Amino acid sequence: MEKLKDQVADYLRFGQVERGLSQNTIAAYQQDLTEFLDFLAEEDLTAWPSQALEIDAFLAKERDLGKATSSISRMISSLRRFYQWLVRQGLIQIDPMSQIDAPKREKKMPLALSQEEVTRLLDQPDVEKSLGLRDRALLELLYATGMRVSEIINLTLGDIHKDLALIRVLGKGSKERLIPVTDYALSWIDKYLPVRSKLLLKAGKDSDYVFLNSRGGQLTRQAVWQMIKKYCQKAGINKDVTPHTLRHTFATHLLENGADLRVVQEILGHTDISTTQIYTNLTQKHIRDVYQKTHPRMS
């Protein structure tokens, strides 16, 4: 066992000196390999396992301890790099890690706001002020269309077709799509446009972008992110809300109210419907909650 510990120490020195890895990375490798050594000691193994089954037994134990999938993935990555080094050093002949796949990443449920939280958020901007009016129009449009933040900051006046109640969006891969938009959201755009004209006049410049900063320039992703954080704080919404949260919320609320999954896929601009299907888990939870609250035999 001491020989194995010495080889781990040599590997960590190699990573630090030869590869210039950070102290944090070295510490992560050390933690993973120490756990592996502890397992080998418990199993009375005095050589590095050469069979994938033996390493699988170690990984199974890690899962039984409640390790997250991300932690298991990191462990596999650490062992894979270590075994490659062992082969290069001529310390082992067979690399069993080549037969072990990393676990599939867990799909995290997207965060969505309730309809009451959305109302509170949208009511926060002070529409008596110019930039407050701009912020209200932007938030209303995000929630009404499910646009990505990159799409809304690049939106131009020519993309808004008010007579058709449609917005043209250039999404990922320069793929164009048309999104329906509510009259209510369009009314806030109409209220904001005179403010936009004043911003351009004050800055002495011209621009086709719909949403501008106080200097008449294009609004940035960071500015939209900070805006949402500020209004969530004012609204007392204690969630990690980002511009993408409003996109998730838009999709979730459509499905909760009976929208077809394929329609939501088209509006969001998802190439693969499996990307959209993650929202069905949220709507199924909503259905269960409604059932439990309303069925007369639940209490």
The verdict on 88 and 40 lying in the same domain is: yes
Catalytic residue among 29, 192, 209, 279: 279
Mean pLDDT of the chain: 87
Q: Mean pLDDT, to the nearest integer, of 171-200?
A: 92
Do residues 12 and 59 lie in contact, with contact meaning Cβ atoms separated by under 8 Å?
no
Q: What is the CATH classification number for the domain harbouring 29? A: 1.10.150.130
Catalytic residue among 80, 120, 244, 286: 244
Is residue 290 predicted with pLDDT exceeding 60? Answer: no
172 is catalytic: yes
148 is catalytic: yes
> Total structural domains in the chain?
2
The verdict on 205 and 86 lying in the same domain is: no
Please give the residue range of the domain that contains residue 141: 115-294
Of 36-50, 154-168, 201-215, least confident by mean pLDDT is 36-50
Catalytic residue among 136, 247, 248, 253: 247
Catalytic residue among 134, 136, 148, 248: 148
Q: Tell whether 107 is covered by a domain.
A: no
Q: Tell whether 109 is covered by a domain.
A: no
Say how many residues make up the chain. Answer: 299
pLDDT score, position 212:
96
Is residue 291 predicted with pLDDT exceeding 90? Answer: no
What percent of the chain has pLDDT above 70?
89
Of 31-40, 67-76, 103-112, 178-187, least confident by mean pLDDT is 103-112
Quickly state the pLDDT bin for 282 (edges 50, 70, 90). Answer: low
At position 284, the amino acid (one-letter code) is: Q
At position 225, the amino acid (one-letter code) is: W
Catalytic residue among 61, 80, 270, 286: 270
The 3-state DSSP class for residue 160 equals strand
The verdict on 76 and 213 lying in the same domain is: no
244 is catalytic: yes
Q: Tell whether 299 is covered by a domain.
A: no
Q: What is the CATH classification number for the domain harbouring 122? A: 1.10.443.10
How many CA atoms, within 13 angstroms, populate the side-chain half-sphere of residue 198? 11
pLDDT score, position 109:
64
The verdict on 283 and 160 lying in the same domain is: yes
Catalytic residue among 172, 198, 239, 285: 172
* Tokens standing for residue 256: 């909760």
pLDDT score, position 289:
65
